[in-house]
Structure 1
Amino acid sequence: MYYPAPAVADPLVSPDYGGWWARGLRLLGRCFWPLLAVHLVGALVAAAVQVPLFLAARRLSVVTDGPTILVATSYIVVGLAVRLAAQAVVTVAGVHAVVARAAGAPVRVGTALGYALRRALPLFAWEFVAGLLIAVSVVLLVLPSLYVGLVVLMLPAVVAFERGSAAVPRCFKLFHASFGTALARTVTLAVLTLVGLLVAQVLGSLVAAMSAFFVTDLDTLETLITVLAPTLTTLFGGVAAACTTPLLVATYADLRARAEGTTTPHLAYALGIHANGF
C-alpha cells in the first residue's frame, strides 16, 4: 500500500542527528508511562521465573557433588535466559507503543504485548544467530565484535516491522546504506544502554545490600540478597530500557527512510496501526 509523504515533519524520520535526538526525547515524554508499564510487566514476569530458580540454585550450590552443581548452574542459566527473553518481547512491545504514539493512535499496553508475543519466536531465533555472530567476532578481534554489536542493536525493530526477510543481514544492509548516520546513532544508543544497565546493576545491588541493616539472621540475609539483587536489577533495567526505546525506533526509521523513503505511516501500517493526521 502506498502512503504519500506527510505534509508536516515526520515524527520518526529526522534529517540529522539533532532531529533524531529531539524526536527521541519528544516521543519519550509522550509515551513514557505506557513504555514503563510494558517493561515492568516483562521485568515482573522475568522475576517471577528467576526467583525460584535462583533460590533452588543457591540451595544446590552448597553441595559439592559435581552433577548437583551442574544442575544449579543450569538453573541460573535458565533464569538469565528467561530474563533476556522477556526483555526481547517487551522491546518489541515498546516499539509498537512508540509507533502508535508517533502515528497519533492510542497506545494500548495489551495490544502492544500481544503483537510482541506473535513476533517472539522469530526474534528469539535471530537473537541466537546474532549472539553466535558476536561470539565469533569476539574470537577474531575486539573491533569486529563492537561493530557487529552496533549493527544488531536494530534487530528488535527489524523483526517488529519486517516479515519474511533475514533479519541479521537486513540489519547490515540498513547500517551500510547510511554508514555515518547509523554509526552516530547506534554508538549513542549503545552508550546509553550500557549506562542504563550499569546504573540498574548498582541500584539493585545497593538496595539489596541495605537490607543487611534490617535482617540479623545470616541465612535469611543471603537468601534475601540472592533474590532481591537480580530482581531489583531487572526492574531498574526495565526503566532504563523504556527510556532508550524511542531512540531505537527513530534509528530504524531514519536508516530505512534513507534507504527506501519510509515514513511513519508506512511503519504504522506494518504494525497494523491506523495512522492519524497524515
Structure 2
Amino acid sequence: MNPPGAGVGGWYARCVGALRRGWSLLLPIVLLTQVLPAVVLAVLALVIDPTARWEEQLADDSSALPSGFWADSLVWVGSLFGAGLIASLVQCVGWAAGTWVIARQAAGAPVDLGAAMRYGVRRALGLWGWTLLFGMIVLFGLCLCFLPGIYAVFALAMVGPVYLFERDNPIGRSHQMLRQRLGLLLGRLALVIGAVIAVSLVAAAIEQVGLLLIGTGPMETRTVTAGTVVVTVLAALLTLPGQLAQLVGLVVTYAEQRGHEGPVNDAQLAHELG
C-alpha cells in the first residue's frame, strides 16, 4: 500500500507495481469478465436490432409506424436491459477477483486464477447490488443538471473496494472518504477516470474508422456481418488498458485512504477480504 505522504508519485508507483505483479492473472480476469461480456452484449444488440427492417418498411410507407413497432421495441429494449444486468453481474465477478489478486500479491500471499474466480463468484452478488445502487444514484444525479451526477461518481467511487474489504455501509463510507481528504482523493480518482475516458475515446474512434473501412457510416444502421463483429471485438479489446487502470487504481487508492485513517498493512487488508 502507498504510505501517507508519498504523494502522487508513490501512488503511481504502487499502481505500476501492482500491475507488474499481477498482469498474468489480471489480464485473463479482465478479458473473461469485462471484455467478453461487452462483446456479447454488442453482438446481441446487432442481432436483435429491428431498425434495418423498420427502415425498409418506412421506405415503402413513411406515413405509418412499421408493423410490430411497439412489440419489437419492447423485445429489443427488454432483451438488452436483461442482458446488461447479467453482464454487469459477470463484471462484478471480475472486479472482486481482481481485487483479491492485487491485495494478496501485495501481502506476498499465493494466488491463482481458479481461486481468484471462486472468490469473485462468492462476492459478486453483493457487489452487484451495491454497483446497481451506485449506478442509479449517478443516473439520478445526472438528471439533476448533470453536476450532481459527476459529484456522485467521485463520492461513491470507493463503493466497490469498501464493500469487498469492509462489507459495511459502502455508500456512506465512500462519501466519508471523499469528505475527509477531498483534494487527495479527487486527484487520484481524476487520474483513473481520465485514463478510462481516454482509452474509451481512442477505442470508439478506432471502431468508427473500422466501420467506415467496411462500408458502414456512423449514422447508418449496423447489421451482423463478419466485418462488424471483428470491429466490435477489436474495439472491446482496446478498452482493456482502461479496465486494468480502473481496477488497479481504485484498489490502490482505497488502500492509501485506509493508511491515512490509521495503522494498516497489506497483510491486514488481504485478510479483510475473507
Whole-Å Cα distance in 2 between the matches of residues 226 and 29 of structure 1? 34
Match of 1:189 in 2: 192
Cα distance per residue 1:172-200 (max 9 Å; x no partner): 11222222211111111111111122223
Cα distance per residue 1:59-104 (max 9 Å; x no partner): 5862531212221222233333343333332122111111122111
TM-score, normalising length from structure 2?
A: 0.81
Match of 2:128 in 1: 124
Match of 2:223 in 1: 222
Whole-Å Cα distance in 1 between the matches of residues 43 and 150 of structure 2? 34
Contact 1:208 1:229 in 2 (8 A): yes
Match of 1:71 in 2: 75
Cα distance per residue 1:137-166 (max 9 Å; x no partner): 223233221111012222221122122x12
The change in CA–CA distance for 1:101 and 1:48 in structure 2 (over 3 A counts) is: same
Whole-Å Cα distance in 2 between the matches of residues 243 and 202 of structure 1? 20
The change in CA–CA distance for 1:204 and 1:43 in structure 2 (over 3 A counts) is: farther
What aligned pairs does 1:200-215 form with structure 2 within 5 A after superposition?
200-207=203-210, 209-211=212-214
Contact 2:195 2:245 in 1 (8 A): no
CA RMSD, Structure 1 to Structure 2 (Å): 2.7
What aligned pairs does 1:11-30 form with structure 2 within 5 A after superposition?
11-15=1-5, 16-30=7-21
The one-letter amino acid paired with 2:123 is R
Match of 2:171 in 1: 168
Give 1:32's match in structure 2, choosing from 12, 19, 23.
Answer: 23
Whole-Å Cα distance in 2 between the matches of residues 41 and 160 of structure 1? 20
- Does 2:150 align with 1:146? yes
Question: Can you give the 5+ residue segments of structure 2 that lack an aligned partner in the other structure?
Answer: 55-65
Cα distance per residue 1:218-271 (max 9 Å; x no partner): x9x831255344433333323421233222111001112212333211111112
Match of 2:182 in 1: 179
- Shift in Å at residue 14 of structure 1? 4.6
The one-letter amino acid paired with 2:262 is E
The one-letter amino acid paired with 1:123 is L
Contact 1:60 1:69 in 2 (8 A): no
Contact 2:106 2:266 in 1 (8 A): yes
Contact 1:193 1:240 in 2 (8 A): yes
- Shift in Å at residue 170 of structure 1? 1.5
Match of 2:58 in 1: none
Structure 1 residues 96-105 or 42-51, which shifts more? 42-51
Contact 1:99 1:267 in 2 (8 A): yes
Match of 2:139 in 1: 135
Contact 1:13 1:250 in 2 (8 A): no
Structure 1 residues 237-246 or 97-106, which shifts more? 237-246
In percent, how many aligned pairs have the same letter?
26
Match of 1:276 in 2: none
Give 2:244's match in structure 1, choosing from 242, 245, 252.
Answer: 242
